[in-house]
Each structure stands twice: as C-alpha cells, then as structure tokens.
Amino acid sequence: MVAYTIKRILGAFPLVLAVVVINFALLHLAPGDPVYVFLQGGAGEVTEQYVQQMRRQLGLDKPLAEQLVVYVAGVLRGNLGYSHFYQSPVFQIIVERMPVTYLLVLLSTLFAAIAGIALGVSAANHPHAFVDRVCTVTAVFGYSIPVFWLGQLLIIAFSVYFSIFPTGGIPASALGQGGLLDWALHLTLPVVCLGVIQLTLVARVTRASMLEIYGMEYIVSARAKGLSNMTVTLKHSLRNAFLPIVTVISMDFAFQIAGAMVTETVFSWPGLGRLMFDSVLRRDYPVLMGLLILTSVSVIVINLVTDIFYAYLDPRVVYQ
C-alpha cells in the first residue's frame, strides 16, 4: 500500500502539469481582454498608452508561450500569481475562501450519503413496492431539476413565505462560539440544494448494489439461519455493497468543490465557487488558474483516499 501510494503521488505531478497547461491555454484564448475589464471597459476613458502600460504590468504583453513558462515556474515555487482585481496574492485569496466552501461541500456530501443510503436500502428491501416507487420518482426528480432553480424555489418557500431560513450569506457570529444555531440556519438551504443531485445518485447506486447482493448465496444462507432482516442488511449486505457507493460519494465530493459555483452564487455564499464566478466575469486569470489547480489536486487526493479506503472496506482488494 505504501509503494502504491508513493507511485500515485508521483504520477499526479505530470497530470497536474497537463491540467495547468490546458487550462492556461483555454483561459487565454477565451474572448475578452482582462485589461479592459480591469479598467471597467473604458477604452474611451483611458489612453491607449495607459492600457499598454497596464498590459506590461500584468505580464500580458509577452507571447503566450512565454507567459506559460513564467507561470509554471512560479507554480513550481509555490507562487500562484497575483490578482490584479483583489490586489492580493492568489494563494491568500483562495485560503481565505476555502473553509466556508469545504464546510458547505462536506455537509452536503454527508447529507446526501446518509439520506441516499437510507432511501436506497429502503427501496431495495421493498422492491417494486410503494417505497421503491417513491424513491425512484424522488431520484428522477432530484437529478433532473436544475440547481439554480431548486435554490430559488427553496428561498421562495422557506425564506420568503415561511421566513424559517435566511435568504443567503454567512452569519457574522463565530462558529462554535454561540453561533452554531445561526450557522445551521444559514447552511440548511445551500446544503440541501447542493446535496440533492448527489443524494439521488447515491440512492440509485445503493438500491442496485443491495439488490445484487441480496441474490448472493451467502445472503440466502444467512436468512435461512434465522438472522433478523436488520442484521442481514447492515452486517452482511451493506458492507459488501459499499464499494460502488463509496465511489459515487467520493467522485461527487470532488466535483462539488468545483460545482458549488451555482449554489454559492444563488445563496450569496462567499466561497470558492462564488470566487470562480466573479473571476470569470472579471477575467482574473491568476485566480481562475489557482482555483483550477486546487480543483485538480482535490480530485487526485480524493481518488487516492478512496482507493486506500477500498482496502479497508474489503481486505480482498490488493494494490500493486
């Protein structure tokens, strides 16, 4: 396992480098001049000489290949660049936004995992019954509804009409210092909105895996011994059906870090997703590149942790 982990870590470096090169090229080939955006689009309000001076200051006057070499060299030294809009190092900007985004993604993943597994197990225990049909309809509805529309519906229903939860933003109170309830109220709607799609996937995969396991001979033998349905489900079936469930949860956790942009925008949640959305509008290339690097590294790390967790769940899994 140690050798496999080291091999995976070493193999991640060329992958991250490829992500940096591809994303750098795509961002710089996209339409729009970051200098004019930074100057509020006022070509008539500033002189062309000042525009060229800003372009030299931001390093955008150099050929694209030279800009790429300079940026990669900086990344290798741990320098993600300098944001021309925030007038601050990119690394500092991202670190300031990371806690609220990871808190949101972690809670939404936890919500989706618990609710999805519960729905999937209930549906598998009552195939083609009313519970199974309700779970199927819920999964189709939850996977089909757009996130931005679901977020607006939740705000209208639970913030405007019933006034139970706030419409968005984060509380001013510190977490764990008397503000736990305030944070819970602010987090409920974004967590539900972000976790619904993942919940539906987990529920469907859990149902399919459990039905497959229920057909195994050792499950039939366990039932023939007189074991209770709960013992058969939790001890003998769910653990053996857990590998594909873990795969779905881990993949969605990684993608939600990048996919939280819409949810954070709808609920005015000042995290990495909202930062990415604002940076796209402002053509803030250094911040966008830093976020893309963080996302790619997160996916690699989560996949590695998932593979290691496989071996813990199933001792028959051996890596070479």
CA neighbor of 71 nearest in space, from 61, 59, 89: 59
Q: How far apart (Å, rounded) are the C-alpha atoms in residues 134 and 132?
A: 5
Condensed to tens digits (0 to 9), the pLDDT of residues 102-123 reads 889 899 999 999 998 988 888 8
Per-domain residue ranges of the chain: 20-90, 91-313
Condensed to tens digits (0 to 9), the pLDDT of residues 241-285 reads 888 888 888 877 777 776 677 888 888 888 888 888 888 877 888
Condensed to tens digits (0 to 9), the pLDDT of residues 44-66 reads 566 677 777 777 777 777 787 88
C-beta atoms surrounding 212 within 10 Å: 14
Q: Is the torsion defined by CA of 292, 293, 296, 298 positive or negative?
A: negative
pLDDT at 18 over 80: yes
Model's pTM, two decimal places?
A: 0.81
Average predicted confidence (pLDDT) for the chain: 81
pLDDT at 41 over 60: no
The fold adopted by the segment(s) 91-313 is: MetI-like fold (1.10.3720)
Write out the DSSP string of 256-307. HHHHHHHHHHHTT--SHHHHHHHHHHHT-HHHHHHHHHHHHHHHHHHHHHHH
* β-strand pairing of 88-89 with 82-83: antiparallel
SS (H, E, C) 29-64: HCCCCHHHHHCCCCCCCCCHHHHHHHHHHCCCCCCH
Condensed to tens digits (0 to 9), the pLDDT of residues 129-153 reads 888 888 888 888 888 888 888 889 9
Condensed to tens digits (0 to 9), the pLDDT of residues 281-314 reads 778 888 888 888 888 888 888 887 877 777 777 6
